[in-house]
Amino acid sequence: MHSPIRFMLSDIDGTLLRPDHSLSQANIDAVRKLRDAGIRFTVASSRPPRAMRRQIEALGIDLPTVSFNGANIVNPDGSLLKAHRIDPVAARTSLDLFADQPVSVWVFADDQWLLLDPLGDYVEHERTTLGYDFVQVQHFDEYIDRIDKIVAASKDFELLKRLEAQLNPLIADTALAARSQAYYLDVTALEANKGAALATLADALGIPLAQAAAIGDAGNDVAMFARAGLAIAMGQAETGVKSHAHHVTGSNLEDGLAMAIERYVLPH
């Protein structure tokens, strides 16, 4: 038996949102039921802060939110509660490795999406997801000391798995590489993970981790599964992600978040 849940942290893409990035009425209603039951709710994403505003407003979230996998924890008024930036040496190591590979490389810094090649894999997809445009640069050198997140994007999913395994030992002391989607490999500071963010938020709310629930679908969600008293994986998640969860719900096409809230989180 799990402790009664008093706080829930949800991933956005692949969890809260459907594959077309829409927010279903079922999920909106389920989050409202949480609030009515006195259960606090907020979101954690690999997205930048300004690409989360629409979902935050639609759900009426009044708690701090987690962006860049935990690199930024943002207060409801938009101010930074906490920021973890990538160590410059780890950033350089990551960028050097990706430069020799057939991947699209993006840097998020200074509240901007920076890239070298506007025709790279998944650029149009990301522009639709974020709701704002990239800034094309010749190189990333001037941003190297204040990067929130680096992304390698590719249609070769197996290549990203290999790069994840290759990069992590090189940056292990200060940074972490984890896939947020099959097609995105994210690099963030070591402290910038959803597990640490969950602990920070639970502590701020005065809620023990045993009474916190986490739900997600990707490798970057496993860190919060490890800290949460109740961990729920989405139905379409990879087997390796599901293996870290207490329960598996429906897919994001089936409103698995709403299903999980009804089945596992709300008091019965």
- Do 60 and 106 sit in the same domain of this protein? no
* Inter-residue contact 185 to 152 (CB < 8 Å): yes
Report, as ranges of residue numbers, the positions in the chain whose pLDDT lies below 50. Answer: none
Q: Residue 147: name the closest of 116, 181, 111 by CA.
A: 111
Please check whether residue 203 lies inside any domain of the structure: yes
Q: Residue 189: name the closest of 178, 201, 181 by CA.
A: 178
pLDDT at 2: 67
| Domain membership of residue 56 as a residue range | 7-83+192-265
* Inter-residue contact 164 to 172 (CB < 8 Å): no
Domain with 56 in it: what CATH number?
3.40.50.1000
Please check whether residue 51 lies inside any domain of the structure: yes
Give dist(CA 72, CA 58) in Å, integer: 21
Please check whether residue 169 lies inside any domain of the structure: yes
* Inter-residue contact 245 to 231 (CB < 8 Å): yes
pLDDT at 1: 52
Last residue of a domain, one of 132, 165, 189: 189
First vs last C-alpha separation in the chain: 13
Give dist(CA 69, CA 13) in Å, integer: 12
- Do 95 and 165 sit in the same domain of this protein? yes
Please check whether residue 245 lies inside any domain of the structure: yes
- Burial call 17-40: b when 16+ CB within 10 Å, e when fewer: bbeeeebbebbeebbeebeeeebb
pLDDT at 3: 80
- Do 104 and 224 sit in the same domain of this protein? no
Give dist(CA 95, CA 144) in Å, integer: 10
- Do 71 and 108 sit in the same domain of this protein? no
Domain with 135 in it: what CATH number?
3.30.1240.10
Q: Sign of the CA dihedral 197, 203, 207, 211?
A: positive
- Do 154 and 95 sit in the same domain of this protein? yes
Q: Residue 73 — φ and ψ, nearest 5°? A: -110, 120
Greatest Cα pair distance in the chain = 57
Last residue of a domain, one of 189, 205, 231: 189
- Do 34 and 99 sit in the same domain of this protein? no
Please check whether residue 156 lies inside any domain of the structure: yes
- Do 94 and 182 sit in the same domain of this protein? yes
Last residue of a domain, one of 134, 160, 189: 189
pTM for the whole thing? 0.89
Q: Residue 43: name the closest of 25, 26, 27, 63 by CA.
A: 63
Q: Are strands 72-74 and 65-67 parallel, antiparallel or unpaired?
A: antiparallel
Please check whether residue 2 lies inside any domain of the structure: no
Reported as half-sphere exposure (CB side, CA atoms, 13 A), residue 132 has a value of: 14
- Do 157 and 214 sit in the same domain of this protein? no
Q: Are strands 247-248 and 230-233 parallel, antiparallel or unpaired?
A: parallel
Instruction: State how many domains the chain has.
Output: 2
- Do 146 and 129 sit in the same domain of this protein? yes
Please check whether residue 145 lies inside any domain of the structure: yes
- Do 134 and 222 sit in the same domain of this protein? no
Q: Which residue has the tokens 């986490």?
A: 214
